[in-house]
Structure 1
Amino acid sequence: MRTSRHRSLRAGLAAAAAFAALAVLSGIAYEQIGRYRAARDFPAPGKMVDIGGRRIQLDCRGAGSPTVVFEAGLSVDGSLSWTAVQPKIAAHTRACAYSRAGVMWSDPSNAPPGAAQAARDLRTALANAGERGPFVLVGQSLGGLYSLGFIRDFGAEVAGLVLVDPSHPEQVKRVASFMTESRSMRSRIGVALAPFGVLRAAAPVLLPQAPHRSAREMQAIRAFAPKSLRTQLAESDATDASLAEAKGFRDLGERPLVVLTAMAPYTAAELRGMKITPEQGLQVQALWKHMHEEIAAWSSRGRHLLVADAGHDIQLDRPQVVVDAVLSVVEAVRADGR
């Protein structure tokens, strides 16, 4: 009797192990097929630029000087972050959007993420693609800090700057009394399981249709989500280092600068995510506004504009506001004879 039970137990364990192995292999196959279809169905806009053994996706349009260069925030959409803005700028001057290493079409990098690495990649991609300054940088959120890093390292090539609801080097310290930063364990588990197709299967839920995006854009973003989400998590983990790196650089000279601040009240979902009350949300927004006033003062020609009806992604909620700000800086650079 005991032997029969042992045999049944062994048979059950063997069947479970075989099922698990089959599930893992099926997941790996699903992910590999998904990667193939992503590359086939959603080719990179612009071109893939070799920067020394790996490639960066760079999409440049239009003609004229200065060249506007867009830097996305902490997101998974790369150059697609600017689809509502770039074409309108390209009607007036050269305009380039790109995807950082490991996001969308761009190859991942073995180097730690951060402002310095992003600046080197972008500078090399622009140079290798034949794009020359003067540049007007447009950075959103964390991309604002990355733009400051580019100016610190390659400032002679940058003639103007637009910062779209940008990060501030001291933002974590200043809001610490209201909220603590948290990084979801579920995100880490999802990224760890990405090679087995888990993130790809969950992409429609994790990245629902956005109101300001076309269905095809969302399909492309989801198709590359397993790779992009891994990079987003790595950049998020490196945020403290990126903020610290930017603390010592606050001199933008006489460059024309526009800082845009999103002032729409936080949604209920945003308040839950930040674990704060509506009253605390108003206090955080006041701090955010004050930090942006400081950033605008880093240039003797800085302007600070409030966007009352836009959330953090102003380039999606109110793209024309961003377009107007960028074109005002382009005209100022031209008036300077750059």
Structure 2
Amino acid sequence: MTKVTGWARVRRWGKRMLLGLLLLLVLLVVVGAIYEALGRKNAAANHPPPGKLVDIGGRKMHIDCRGTGSPTVVFESGLGTGGTIDWTLVHDEIASFTRTCAYDRAGIMWSDAKDTPQRASAVADDLHALLKGAGITGPLVLVGHSIGGPYTRTYVGKYGEQVAGLVMVDASHPDQVARLGKAAKVDAHPGQAGWIMHTATALSWTGIVRFAMANAGQGKLPKDAAARMAAYASKSVHGATSELDGFDRTMDDARAVKSFGNRPVIVLTAMAPLKPEELKGLSLKASDGARFKQEWKALNAEQAALSTRGRQQVVGDAGHYIQIDRPDVVIAAVREVVDEVRADAQAAAKK
């Protein structure tokens, strides 16, 4: 009988362990895929769109309009998976004094995905088609957060006859990558997170994105709003990744718009110091973080100056999501612009 050596025994057990791990991995993937499929089915059943789906030519987009009155406020969310959910804390309050609409861009939350590249000009075209399909012609007050700023700026350039006023909520600036990079000696391009977004998109069918979002915590959002966002995260990550890929083209589109004319414009700028985890994520020291924020303030001031009636309002106790940290500030800014638009309309009617 052949004697089994110690090394042969180790190799044999090693192969068995590797085979066991492989089978476990396959089992986890299968279970994850089932978890994801059931999650999507439950999302459709338990979290239907709160607004309506509008066909814009072969695909549908979700828009949630509340309240009555003119002008119509339209929210443009930042880069991410939240879409309409990002405006949960301000939507109803603003709808108490005028019609107010939040919508989901292509591939986000309840809106169908698109198979063409995403950039600001394409976002503007989609929004224009959506508003037309929903029977909304203007006047509009556009409220843009983060990358929603370049999106609304581009909309003014393409469809400015509809736009009567704007509120920029810690909005991105077309030149922010170069300017922030120079001021704080940091790579401020969001494309650094591209590999994470693309990996999440590629693995979304396995349930890992859904599991991560379901266990991420809700922050300051109401529990039901956070649950809706988590339910559609594995779908929304595709749309967000497409927007991230189009970031540079988006900034080119926005840069081409040089003026907001004499429209009332309020630019809200978040100036709370960067948190330790934010500094770490950007590889910044506290002193560099302070320079980063000062340059951000300057960039926002330049956007206010695009209008002869623009002003900047610094919000010292809010982070980037001012509409979540200080919803009262966003509500007050929108009310002020709405009041100015109404006054302009009354003055024009008397002429």
Q: So what's the TM-score if we normalise by structure 1?
A: 0.92
Task: Tell me the alpha carbon deviations over residues 282-311 of structure 1, each in whole angstroms, 9 at most, x when there is no partner.
Answer: 101111111111111101110111111111
Report the CA distance shift for 1:19/1:176 in structure 2 as closer, same or farther (over 3 A): same
Match of 2:111 in 1: 106
- Compute the displacement of 1:216 (Å): 1.3
Q: Is 2:38 the counterpart of 1:38? A: no
Match of 1:287 in 2: 295
Secondary structure of 1:93 counterpart:
coil
Q: Is 2:63 the counterpart of 1:58? A: yes
Q: Aligned equivalents of 1:270 and 1:142: distance in 2?
A: 18
Secondary structure of 1:276 counterpart:
coil
Q: Is 2:194 the counterpart of 1:189? A: no
Q: Is 2:210 the counterpart of 1:200? A: yes
Q: Aligned equivalents of 2:265 and 2:232: distance in 1?
A: 33
Structure 2 unaligned runs (5+)?
Answer: none
- Compute the displacement of 1:209 (Å): 1.9
Q: Aligned equivalents of 1:323 and 1:37: distance in 2?
A: 33
Secondary structure of 1:336 counterpart:
helix
**What code does the residue aligned with 1:298 have?**
L
Report the CA distance shift for 1:291/1:18 in structure 2 as closer, same or farther (over 3 A): closer
**What code does the residue aligned with 1:72 have?**
S
Report the CA distance shift for 1:86/1:7 in structure 2 as closer, same or farther (over 3 A): closer
Match of 2:159 in 1: 154
Say if 1:111 and 1:117, in contact at 8 Å, map to a contact too: no
Say if 1:160 and 1:257, in contact at 8 Å, map to a contact too: yes
Report the CA distance shift for 1:323/1:13 in structure 2 as closer, same or farther (over 3 A): closer
Match of 1:235 in 2: 243
Q: Aligned equivalents of 1:320 and 1:14: distance in 2?
A: 58
Q: Aligned equivalents of 1:278 and 1:17: distance in 2?
A: 45
Q: Aligned equivalents of 2:217 and 2:238: distance in 1?
A: 18
Report the CA distance shift for 1:141/1:10 in structure 2 as closer, same or farther (over 3 A): closer
Return the match for 1:175 from 166, 176, 180: 180
**What code does the residue aligned with 1:128 have?**
G
**What code does the residue aligned with 1:152 have?**
G
Match of 2:262 in 1: 254
Q: Is 2:229 the counterpart of 1:221? A: yes
Match of 1:118 in 2: 123
Report the CA distance shift for 1:187/1:115 in structure 2 as closer, same or farther (over 3 A): closer
Q: Aligned equivalents of 2:339 and 2:199: distance in 1?
A: 48
Q: Aligned equivalents of 1:139 and 1:174: distance in 2?
A: 21
Q: Aligned equivalents of 2:159 and 2:278: distance in 1?
A: 36
Secondary structure of 2:62 counterpart:
strand
Q: Aligned equivalents of 1:53 and 1:29: distance in 2?
A: 29
- Compute the displacement of 1:75 (Å): 2.0
Match of 1:132 in 2: 137
- 4+ aligned runs moved over 6 Å, structure 1: 4-17
- Compute the displacement of 1:7 (Å): 11
Match of 1:78 in 2: 83
Match of 2:146 in 1: 141
Secondary structure of 1:183 counterpart:
helix
Say if 2:173 and 2:300, in contact at 8 Å, map to a contact too: yes
Task: Tell me the alpha carbon deviations over residues 253-280 of structure 1, each in whole angstroms, 9 at most, x when there is no partner.
Answer: 1111110100111111111111111111
Report the CA distance shift for 1:333/1:29 in structure 2 as closer, same or farther (over 3 A): same
Say if 1:194 and 1:226, in contact at 8 Å, map to a contact too: yes
**What code does the residue aligned with 1:189 have?**
T
Identity across the alignment (%)? 43
Secondary structure of 2:335 counterpart:
helix
Say if 1:138 and 1:162, in contact at 8 Å, map to a contact too: yes
- Compute the displacement of 1:190 (Å): 2.6
Task: Tell me the alpha carbon deviations over residues 92-146 of structure 1, each in whole angstroms, 9 at most, x when there is no partner.
Answer: 1110001111111111111211111111111111111112201010001100110
Structure of larger gyration radius: 2
Q: Aligned equivalents of 1:10 and 1:262: distance in 2?
A: 56
- Compute the displacement of 1:214 (Å): 1.0
Say if 2:141 and 2:166, in contact at 8 Å, map to a contact too: yes
**What code does the residue aligned with 1:123 have?**
H
Q: Aligned equivalents of 1:126 and 1:189: distance in 2?
A: 33
Q: Aligned equivalents of 1:134 and 1:274: distance in 2?
A: 40
Say if 2:74 and 2:100, in contact at 8 Å, map to a contact too: yes
Say if 1:255 and 1:301, in contact at 8 Å, map to a contact too: yes
